[in-house]
Each structure stands twice: as structure tokens, then as C-alpha cells.
Structure 1
Amino acid sequence: MTDDPTGLSGRLSLTSVVAFGISYMAPSLVMVLFGVVAATSGGTAPTAFLLATGAMTLTALSYAKMARRFPASGSAYAYARNTLGAPAGFLVGWVVLLDYLFLPMVAWLVQAVYLNAQFPAVPVWVWMLVNAGLTTLVNIIGLAFTDRVNKVLTCAAVLIVLLFAGYCLTHLVGHPPTSVAAPLWNADTTTLGVSAAAAVAAYSYLGFDAVTTLSEEARDPRRNIPRAVVLVVALGGLLFTTVAYVMQLVHPGGVFDAPDIAGYTMSVQVGGQSFADWTNLAGIVAGFGSGLAVQLSSSRLLYTMGRDGVLPKRVFGALNARTGTPVFCVLLTGAMCFVGLGLTLETATSFINFGAFLAFTAVNVCVVVHWARNPTSGRGSVIGHVVTPALGTCVTLYLMTRLSGQALLVGSCWLAAGIAYLLWLTRGFTRPTPGLAVDEDRGRAEAVPA
């Protein structure tokens, strides 16, 4: 094993990083969320997805700016530490940790629930263990192998969504829509309804930030990671908006018998029962890539915090000498599947969004603070370094207000535990907070003694 601070090797191309981001976001999610988004927006799902794309792009631009300046694998944690100070960075990292620990579990649980629905003879817990075991094995083998598997699965996931869209278009040939503009705005549309639907659609974009956890494993990270962040949101938004538009043409309006399964119902409508069943199964298999990407990014955050000494360095900050992967961190995220065995999908999902939106808010604030301290470092653009991240902050804070009371309670308790841990770690701030300093000029990560 090695705990070399710069042990992660940069080998991922821009295409590979973008593929991980797209896979993380799960292309088929537009089919899953369509019914709920269309019902909330009054039959204007594509407009809601378009608004969500624009809103999340504001924060994506902030991540791109910070990734260019601090090309470290810690993502929001590294940006906050180097911009807002070590204690703030620790707390951001701690809150994001809740998100990243539970995200793999949620991805596997979603897979398990759908596989159980398709093959009810096999219990959910068995599918859960199978999914977690397979992704853990792939991620342990090594980054090159994980990259190849992910590219195949990402292509499969996108092709399945495009195939479904193709069937929808074929259906429209025999059943032409009464209005091609109604899916964008109609008599039932309200600004409040579209904004509420956009808040739901925004959950489709959670994970675009995960590509920044691959900064130390990407080629030319100062150039490729910022590009990847923006490309993931842009490509995901284009796919979501376009498919939602086609689906809204097939099913005008926002009235559904069961909004939660509208995507599956429409698959039956446009292609028949067999097509719907096979598409559903293929989508489930392709969704394996989402769990793969989620676990990869989660293990990198744990590794970075371990390398910094925020978590026990000897255990979390070690890389396997042969594979170059943080094996313990991968195994720990894999072990989270056992926590998910006793949770419902709704409860598990409620754990993750608090950390994600708080991290988004922190990164937007980091851009403003960094520019205020270094007004000439960002080409002096007030719009790009103050106005845009300020708008991004407003969006993410609004999204936090849309979270359930349970999510806010769990997130707040986790944050309180982090504050207590920070006080113990620093002995009441009588010792420096351990962490990592990133040299902006050279882009090298250097250990800071605890």
C-alpha cells in the first residue's frame, strides 16, 4: 500500500470523464421522473427540464472555475478548504460525505427494487448485494477497467433512452399531436408550477459535480475537468429536455393515472408490453453504470479526506500498490449496501440531497470569495465571478427549501456531529485542522501537517 499524496495517476481522457458524469446522472432518469414533472408543471415537462438545466448550469460554471484553480480530487471539500479556510472546508467535506456515502446505496437500492419488480422470485436484498458486489469488484480491479466498463454501460443507457424516443416518434406519425407548442407552454401552465417542477427535475442533475472528484486521475485536469463539468450538464440537459418534449407530445397535459410509472406506461403505449418489459430490463442493467460511477467518486472523496488526515490516514489515505485504487474506501462504500437493506427508497433518498445542495451553495460562495481576494485572477469579470455564482446560490438555497423535513433533520444532525468531531479533532481549535493545500500555479497537492 502507499499513502503518497499524489499517488492517483492522471490517465482519464475528457471523453472518459464526461462518460462518468453522464453515467452518474443516469440518462433513463428522464423517463422515471417525466410523469411527476409533467403533472407538477401542468403538462410542460420539457420547459421544466430546460429551466432546471439553466439553473444547474449556474452552479456548474462555479465548479468549472474552482476546478481550474484547485485541481484536487476533493471537489467542494478542497475548494472550500483552500478558499474559505480549513474549518469551513472540513464541514463542507463532512456534509458532502453524507451525500457520497449514501448515494451508492441509493443507486443499488433503485436497481434492486426494479429488478425485484421484474423478477419477484428474487428478494430485493439479494439484488442489492449482487449490485453492490459487482460494482465494488470492478472499482477495485482498477481505473482503466472501470473506465472501459463504464463507457459501454453509458452508451447502452443513452441508446435505450434514444430507442424509446424513436418509438415515441414512430407513434406520433400515426397519432399526430394537436399542438407542437403545448408541451412548452399551454393554458394550464403557471410560472409557479413550472418552477416547482424544475425543482423536481433538478434532482436529475445531481452528480454533475462528481467529475471533479476525478481531477487527479484526469489528463490535463485544469483544462478537461472544467470542460467536463459544463459538458455533462449541457449534454444531460439536452437529452432530458428533448426526450421530455417527445414524451409530452405523446401524452399531452399533466394528468396521469399513476405519474410515478408514466414512463413504463408510455413504453407499453408506443411499443407494446414486450418492448416495455425488455426496455425496462435493459435500462436496469445499463443503470448499473450509475452505481459504478457513484461508488468511484465516493471512494475518491473518502480517500482525499483520509490522505489529508481528516479521516484516519493509515486506513483511508492508502492506495493499493498494484491497482492504484483506494481499496478500503471502495470496500467501505460497498458495505453501505448493508445499511440500505433495512430502508425504503424514499427514506434512503432523503439522506442525500441536503449535502448535495449545501455543497453547491458552498462552491458558489467560494467563487465570489476567491475573486474578491484575487480580482485579477479571473479576468476581472464581475458577471462571471459574482453575479452568476450569486444566482447559483439563490437557486441551490431555494432547492434546499424544497427538501422534506426528514431530509433537513437528518442533514442538520449530521452537520452537528461534524462540528463536534471538528472540535475534538482540533481540541477546541487549539490545533490546526488537518487538510490539503493545493498550489494554484502548479496544481500539485501537498500534505499539510495536522
Structure 2
Amino acid sequence: MRPPVSRRRPPEALRAAPSAASSGPRIKSPDLLIAESGADLEGHGLRRSMGLFQLICFGIGAIVGTGIFVGLSDTVAQAGPAVLVSFVLAAVTCVFTAFSFAELGGAIPVSGSSYSYAYATLGERTAFLVGWCLLLEYGISVSAVAVGWGQYLNELLGGLTGWQLPAALSSPPGDGGIVNVPAVVVMLLAALLLVRGIRESARATAAMAVLKLAILVLFCAIGLSAFRAGNLSPFAPEGVAGITSGASVAFFSYIGFDAITTAGEEVRNPRRNIPVAIMVCIGVVTVLYCLVAASAIGALSAGEVGGRPAALSLIVNRVTHSTLGGAVIAFGAVVAIASVVLAVLYGQTRILMSMSRDGLVPRIFERVSPRTSTPVANTWIVTAVFAVPAAVVPLDAVMNLSTIGTLAVMVAVNLSVMVLRRTRPDLPRRFRVPLFPASPLLGIAFCLYLSYGTGPATWLQFAGFLVAGALVYTCYGRRRSRLGQAPAAQEPVEQEPAAREPVAQEPVAQEPADGAGTGLSGTGLSGTGLSGTGLTRAGVAPREG
């Protein structure tokens, strides 16, 4: 029988390490973030059971889904044949930010992703708002993705049997229905798989990722066989404004690559595998999306594709003059979108687990089952909460809000990589952002540019969402923060009297004599068993100011 889940906490000397002085922002050092991670050295809590191939498949599974199978038609409606430019513009934005994610994911391999990176660089308040935006990104994404799954399930049923679910049971109220039952069903199925264990979930995601790639390659072959250059004219009927608006919609298709970093505590050799997986996923997905967009707009005109549900199945049906081909594409979409639901639910639960570990959300979200090594209660709560909007909210009503929330998170990540380079140049980094600092600065600029394309209504909605988050942090998070409750939060480590109870002396005596030169003896790190994690440098003393 496996031992119970470890509930140990780092010693107070280590907890005191972050800059939590009352005169400045509460900043948690990367060393402390890793020390508190759920996958401890004894193997309790989360398991490191994902390899590089599984992580790449997980990333592709998180990215490729509703955005391309459902959102492509909305992008065409905005940009026309210039949808190709819109996808490239969205990809460029992602590439610059992906560089930052790759460096941070390797340097701080924890499940908190952007939230943890902001905590280590920008302070607790900003980190909470980043986590708040991640709840928006993942929560709305999983709801929107589940809605798209229901659309293609109906298309598949229609192609195979000629029968479809009635609109009352397959569409939200805004789209002529009462409740979207398929959206709720796919979320429940994904939750059941997630609570069984990460190994089973990773295997299922890998199989679905390979299948969806094969289906999209088949679509490209069919679409390019009917390519007509005349469909590309006029190329940009709405001009630059249409391309920008289309890029904002297309950006939704790339949401999910950041979920790779939420596996930081469950992937083997995370310092190498996380950066590699991010770059491979972005490269594969960008090429694939451009080919799919070119195939779609070449096979049918923009007017025929724009705004049509299940557009890829429609195109294949028109080209092959048969519903069988469309049914194959619909089957691929059902599988693809199901894998996105799985991956996004996974990322959501790991973000909440990290925030709960810090005391910023209720403790129930950090509890890990000793039997399955998964946050079971966390998973079911998230599923129950976000199944409601999936059942009753139209897809197009939430995509822009999810997009702007994701763009805000990416701005914070690009800022974090620049701050961490300055404050902790000693951290191990298997990948470093090229063209630094131009790359993260360009990432910020592109994110702001795409945010402009979401429109004033979305800006106002997002501003209200941020205000609500700030109130939640002030009324709950700040008061219950474990970092704020640490004794050293009121007094820097260097100011503590030399004569102390020998709390940290016993761990120091367990380390080899040459460890005295690491600068850890005064922090309590030397006795935490971190010598095998790459935490052999100091850098945990509070930062000045």
C-alpha cells in the first residue's frame, strides 16, 4: 500500500526566504516554489510519470481543438481569404511568448505555470490576478471547447445515421436550445479519466493527439485537391482591421500551449522536456493551421466558409460530394475536442492546486488522493462549476473574453522572464530566450495589439473581471496567504539575531562539509533534501526594496 500523501511543509527558515517584507511586495523565491511543489523527493503527492513524447502529445492535445475545427469559420468571417495572415500574426504572438514560457518552465518546474512565475518575480498581488485570469482562460476555454464538441457530435450523428440530437438538448438558450447536454457529458467523461491518474490521462491524450493530426492532414489533402486560386480574391475585403480582428479570433486556436507548464510537477526531467515540448508543439501547430486555413479557403469561397458551424465537415462534403468524408472529419473533431477538454481541465486543477498551496484559495483544492495521486476533489469541483456555462452559454459569447484574459497572462509571463533574468541569473536554464530582451518585449507588444482587436465591449468585461479579482484577493487571499503569515514576513532573514534555537543546525550537520560554500546554511535549505533538484545555489534571501 502506498504511503499517505505528504503534507510536510518546508522549515520556517526556508519559508522565510522570500521577500515578504511589509514595505514591499510579497515575492516567493523559485527555490521555495520548488521546495513546496507537490512532487517531493519521496514520491508522495503528484507522480513524475510523463515523458517527452507524452508531454508533446499533451501539448498538441491542449492546443488543437475547437479553435481550428470550430473557430476557423469565425476567423474567415472577419478576415476573408487573409485568414492566412491572421493565423500567422497570431502564431508570431505565440512564438515570442512561447520562448518566455520555455525558459521559465525549465527554470521553475512547478505546476503553477504563469501564476508561479509571477509570484517569483512580480509579487503576490499580481500573481493572484494572473491566477484569476488563468481561471478565466481555462474555465471559459473548457466551456467553449465542450460546446464545440457538441456541434461536431451532431454532425457525426447526422453523417452516420441521418439523425441528430434535437436543438433543445444540444444548444444553449442563446442558440435556440435549452441546455447543451453533450457539452456536460464530455466534461464529465474527461473528469472521470483525470481522477484515475495522470498516466492513464497521458496515454489517452497521446492517442487522441495522433488521431487528430492524422484527420487534419487528411483534410488538407482533400482541400488542396480542390484548390482554386480565384477564391483568394479579394484577399483582404475588410483591410487591416479585418486581419487584426481575425488574428484575435485565430489566437483562440493557439490557447493551450501554456498548459504544458502546468505539468511541471508530473513530467520527468522537466528542465529539459518542458522547453522542448513547448517549441515542438508551437512549430507543429503553426504549420498545420496555415495548411488547414489555405486548404479551406482554397476549396470554398470565404462567403461559403465564414460563420458556418462545423465548417471543415462542410468543405469535405462539398469537395467529395458525399457525407461520408464529412463524417470522418466530424469524428476527428469529436476526438480532438475531447482531448482539449481533458487537457484544459487538467491545467485548471493544477493552477488551483498551486494557489491553494499558497493559501490564496481554499485548501480543498490542494488535497491529493493517496490512491490515484490526483487532486480528486479539485477536479470534480472545477468540472461542476464550469459545466454550467458549457450547458447554457453560446460559444461566440465567451471566446473573446477568454482571448483577452490569455493575452493578459502572456504579458505577465514576458515581464516575468525579464525580471527573473535580472534577479536570479544563477538559476539553471536549459533553454534561454533568444534575442533577449527584444523577444519578450515584442511578445508584450503583439499581445497588446491583439487585445485591441477584441473590441471595447470585451475590454469593459475584462476590466470588471479584474476588479472582481482584486476584491477577492483583498478580502480573502491576502489575509489567508501562507507567505504573509510566515514569521519572516515581518522581518528579513539577515536581521534575525545570531543566537537562535538550533532549528536549522540539525539539517546543516547532515550535509557534506563542502556544502558550506553554497550559501544555504543560513536559510535552512541545506537540510531539505534539495541537493538533487538543482537548488544548489542560494538566492533565497529577501531582495532589497
Shared fold, TM over 0.5: yes
Farther off after superposition, 21-30 or 422-431? 422-431
* Equivalence map 1:334-353=2 (5 Å): 334-335=383-384, 336-353=386-403
Q: 1:362-410 deviations in whole A, cap 9, x for unaligned?
A: 001111222233567679x996332110110011112222224454334
Q: 1:310-360 deviations in whole A, cap 9, x for unaligned?
A: 1122x1111000100000111012102134323222234344223211110
Farther off after superposition, 255-264 or 236-245? 255-264
How far apart are residue 433 of structure 1 and its match?
4.0
Match of 2:533 among 428, 436, 442: 442
Task: Quickly say closer, same or farther: Cα 1:85–1:402, change in 2 above 3 A.
Answer: same
* Equivalence map 1:382-421=2 (5 Å): 384-421=435-472
8 Å Cα contact 1:153-1:287 kept in structure 2: no
Alignment partners' CA distance in 2, 1:228 and 1:367 = 18
Q: Percent identity?
A: 27
8 Å Cα contact 2:236-2:243 kept in structure 1: no
| Amino acid of the structure 2 residue aligned with 1:78 | S
Match of 1:319 among 368, 374, 399: 368
TM-score, normalised to structure 2, is 0.72
Farther off after superposition, 340-349 or 186-195? 186-195
1:162 paired with 2:217, answer: yes
Structure-2 residue corresponding to 1:267: 316
Alignment partners' CA distance in 1, 2:112 and 2:377 = 17
Q: Give SS of 2:46's match.
A: coil
Structure-2 residue corresponding to 1:284: 334
Give structure 1 stretches of 5+ with no counterpart.
none
Structure-1 residue corresponding to 2:14: none
| Amino acid of the structure 1 residue aligned with 2:407 | F
Alignment partners' CA distance in 1, 2:109 and 2:338 = 28
| Amino acid of the structure 2 residue aligned with 1:364 | N
Give structure 2 stretches of 5+ with no counterpart.
8-37, 40-44, 159-163, 171-179, 487-524, 541-545
Q: 1:20-72 deviations in whole A, cap 9, x for unaligned?
A: 11111125743434444345434233333223222210010011111121111
1:294 paired with 2:294, answer: no
| Amino acid of the structure 1 residue aligned with 2:316 | S
Alignment partners' CA distance in 2, 1:238 and 1:316 = 37
Farther off after superposition, 204-213 or 85-94? 85-94
Alignment partners' CA distance in 2, 1:67 and 1:208 = 12
Q: 1:203-259 deviations in whole A, cap 9, x for unaligned?
A: 21011111100011111111111111121111110110122223333236x433754
Match of 1:144 among 190, 194, 199: 199
| Amino acid of the structure 1 residue aligned with 2:414 | N
Q: 1:407-434 deviations in whole A, cap 9, x for unaligned?
A: 4334323322222222234667998547
Structure-1 residue corresponding to 2:288: 239
Structure-1 residue corresponding to 2:61: 23
Farther off after superposition, 209-218 or 38-47? 38-47
Structure-1 residue corresponding to 2:104: 66
Alignment partners' CA distance in 1, 2:100 and 2:261 = 12
8 Å Cα contact 1:308-1:317 kept in structure 2: no
Structure label with greater radius of gyration: 2
Task: Quickly say closer, same or farther: Cα 1:184–1:329, change in 2 above 3 A.
Answer: farther
Q: Give SS of 1:385's match.
A: coil
Q: Give SS of 1:202's match.
A: helix
Alignment partners' CA distance in 2, 1:382 and 1:239 = 24
Structure-1 residue corresponding to 2:5: 2
TM-score, normalised to structure 1, is 0.86
8 Å Cα contact 1:90-1:310 kept in structure 2: yes
Structure-1 residue corresponding to 2:130: 92
Match of 1:109 among 143, 147, 172: 147
Q: Give SS of 1:77's match.
A: helix
1:209 paired with 2:209, answer: no
Task: Quickly say closer, same or farther: Cα 1:430–1:298, change in 2 above 3 A.
Answer: closer
Alignment partners' CA distance in 2, 1:23 and 1:299 = 17
Alignment partners' CA distance in 1, 2:334 and 2:61 = 13
Match of 1:305 among 335, 352, 355: 355
8 Å Cα contact 1:52-1:199 kept in structure 2: yes
| Amino acid of the structure 2 residue aligned with 1:320 | S
Structure-1 residue corresponding to 2:511: none
8 Å Cα contact 2:100-2:414 kept in structure 1: yes
Farther off after superposition, 9-18 or 94-103? 94-103
| Amino acid of the structure 2 residue aligned with 1:234 | G
Match of 2:297 among 248, 259, 265: 248
Structure-1 residue corresponding to 2:185: 130
Alignment partners' CA distance in 1, 2:433 and 2:360 = 34
8 Å Cα contact 1:70-1:440 kept in structure 2: no
Alignment partners' CA distance in 1, 2:66 and 2:381 = 27
Farther off after superposition, 382-391 or 203-212? 382-391
Structure-2 residue corresponding to 1:373: 423
Task: Quickly say closer, same or farther: Cα 1:187–1:72, change in 2 above 3 A.
Answer: closer
Alignment partners' CA distance in 1, 2:442 and 2:373 = 39
Alignment partners' CA distance in 2, 1:184 and 1:72 = 48
Task: Quickly say closer, same or farther: Cα 1:361–1:318, change in 2 above 3 A.
Answer: same
Structure-2 residue corresponding to 1:83: 121
Farther off after superposition, 33-42 or 296-305? 33-42
What count of residue pairs does the alignment treat as equivalent?
A: 436
Alignment partners' CA distance in 1, 2:238 and 2:308 = 20
How far apart are residue 193 of structure 1 and its match?
4.2
Task: Quickly say closer, same or farther: Cα 1:225–1:48, change in 2 above 3 A.
Answer: same
How far apart are residue 183 of structure 1 and its match?
5.5
8 Å Cα contact 1:183-1:245 kept in structure 2: no
8 Å Cα contact 2:249-2:400 kept in structure 1: no
Structure-2 residue corresponding to 1:229: 278
